[in-house]
Structure 1
Amino acid sequence: MVIVKKLISETNEKRKLLTKENEIYFDKLLIYIRSHLLLSERQSEEVLTEILDHLLSAQAEGKTASDVFGSNPKVYAEEIVEALPKEKKGNLITFGVEILCDIIGWFIIIGAIGRYFTKSDQIYLYSSIINVVAVVAIGSGLLYVILKQLKQGAFEEKMSKRTVVKSGVLGVVTFGLFIAILYLTDELGPLVNITWFTQLGAGSALLLISYLMKRDRTKSY
């Protein structure tokens, strides 16, 4: 991860040297490639760095990105994605668990803060479990949709009205679905006494686990 962060930092700095035309072309490649989470992150960034270095050299000779990589950046980007290896399963699983701990941890902490103000030490067990599952499922679904939108929109000059409307509707529907789940599962299962402070500690513990997993995961890069 240290190497990946360094590559990303170098890419961000070198992008500033591109002409406007070349920067637009390169950014399309960058967005499309980075939106594929299942690809090896390190090798994806290494390829982007190589492309950028090659483009800067060509630019110094008066060439454009279209001259070097072709007039269709989507075709070129798809070829790159096809050639890149997948991320190791172990890394993907670790990353998934890390994100789950992060999402659930924050959800529990927010709930604990709310219960602190309501002065309630009781929760409905089944309702709480369903709510956590709903947060994870909806969050995962939103991530998938966002990445899909990034892939589709990477080569559009500007976001279409249809995409804007779809995104707005998706946001409203998602929010409404979550509220509906909270309402319909408000009082399910036995009541369990858990203080807000205990809940806060549980959420903090999950965030700590997420942090430690991220730290250990980054050492492997």
Structure 2
Amino acid sequence: MNMKDIIKRNRELQASLNTHNEKVYENMVVYIRLNSLSERATEEALLEILEHLVIGQQNGKMAEEIFGSDSKAYCDDVLVNLPKETKALQFMNMLYFNTLIFMWMFIPKTIGEIIGLFYPAFSEDRISLLPFLISWPFTWIIIWAVLKAIKNSVYGSKGWIALGVSTFVIGTILYVLTDQIFKDIWTIPMNLLISISITCLLFTLQYAFKKYSIHLETKISYS
């Protein structure tokens, strides 16, 4: 099955779970996805887990009777047996995520230029590249903190969620501040055509990187 078929089948089976088993499975999904590096192999493993759970439920069993009382330990065993990313896949994923980050950082500029057609105050003749370069490592820190918070809140303290939200808010404020403080340093010309062109270029690149990443992922899954 391809990824779309796996996800579709997962949704169909998950709809048949009772409330308790669905909650247990959802926690397992979050924990495994956030700890795994191999996307396709992860989805295959989750589908296999779900199939076992559905069969067990049909026989009157609850999740604990199938996976044991410590579902986190069960998930850890699953993760140990998942294939690891190759160097090529790691590099491609790095290109994908970095391009995606820059695309989303640049989209507000494009939106501003579009709004500027009607309200000139939102349009900019030049923009600084420095805020993007400064915000880039902070964005990775924010992503790490948010994912860490979600992962640890599944089988640990819910206080991690507050940490993730706080980091996201602080990072957003820092981006806005750097955009104002360094707006006249390392500037490049800007207008609607340039902003749309850059956004489309970044979108195309991240799409291409993702497609090739999926190709590499498929080779790992069936090697």
The TM-score range, normalised by the shorter chain, is 0.7 to 0.9
Are 2:28 and 1:24 aligned?
Answer: no
- Runs of 4+ that moved beyond 4 A: none
Change (3 A) 1:57 1:195: closer
Q: What corresponds to 2:93 in structure 1? A: 95
Pairwise CA distance, 1:219: 4.2
What is the identity, as a one-letter code, of the residue corresponding to 2:32?
I
Could you say which residue in structure 2 is the equivalent of 1:74? 72
- Give 1:105 shift: 2.8
Root-mean-square deviation (Å): 2.4
Amino acid at match of 1:12: R
Aligned length: 211
Match of 1:193 among 179, 189, 196: 189
SS at 1:188's partner residue? Answer: coil
Q: Indicate the percent of aligned positions where both proteins have the same amino acid.
A: 24
Q: Report the more deviating stretch, 164-173 or 57-66.
A: 164-173
**Match runs of 1:49-128 below 5 Å:** 49-115=47-113, 116=116, 117-118=120-121, 119-123=123-127, 128=128
1:147 aligns with 2:138: no
* CA–CA distance in structure 2, aligned partners of residues 99 and 66 of structure 1: 37
Structure 1 residues 164 and 32: alpha-carbon distance in aligned structure 2, compared to 1, 3 A threshold: closer
Any idea what SS the aligned residue of 1:210 has?
helix
Unaligned runs of 5+ in 2: 219-223
Does the aligned pair in 1 maintain the 2:41–2:82 contact within 8 Å? yes
Per the alignment, residue 221 of structure 2 pairs with none
Task: Report the Cα distance in structure 1 between the residues aligned to 2:133 and 2:82, rounded to whole angstroms.
Answer: 33
Contact in 1 for aligned 2:92/2:213 (Cα 8 Å): yes
1:132-211 paired onto structure 2 within 5 Å? 132-155=132-155, 160=158, 162-189=159-186, 192-211=188-207
Which structure exhibits the higher relative contact order, with contacts defined as CA atoms closer than 8 Å and separated by 6 or more residues? 1
Cα distance in 1 for residues equivalent to 2:103 and 2:56: 48
- The alpha-carbon distance between structure 1 residues 104 and 15, as it changes in their structure 2 partners (threshold 3 A), is same
Output the CA distance in 2 between the equivalents of 1:96 and 1:138: 16
- Distance change >3 Å, CA 206–CA 166, structure 1 → 2: closer
Alpha-carbon deviations, 1:47-77, whole Å to 9, x = none? Answer: 1111111122222222211112110111111
Whole-angstrom distance in 1 between the partners of 2:126 and 2:77: 55
Which piece of structure 1 moves more, 170-179 or 26-35?
Answer: 170-179
Distance 1:64 1:113 in 2: 50
Normalised to the residue count of structure 2, the TM-score between the two structures is 0.81
CA distance in structure 2 between the aligned counterparts of 1:109 and 1:187, rounded to whole angstroms: 20
- Runs of 5+ unmatched residues, structure 1: none
For residues 213 and 122 of structure 1, the distance between their equivalents in structure 2, rounded to whole angstroms, comes to: 29
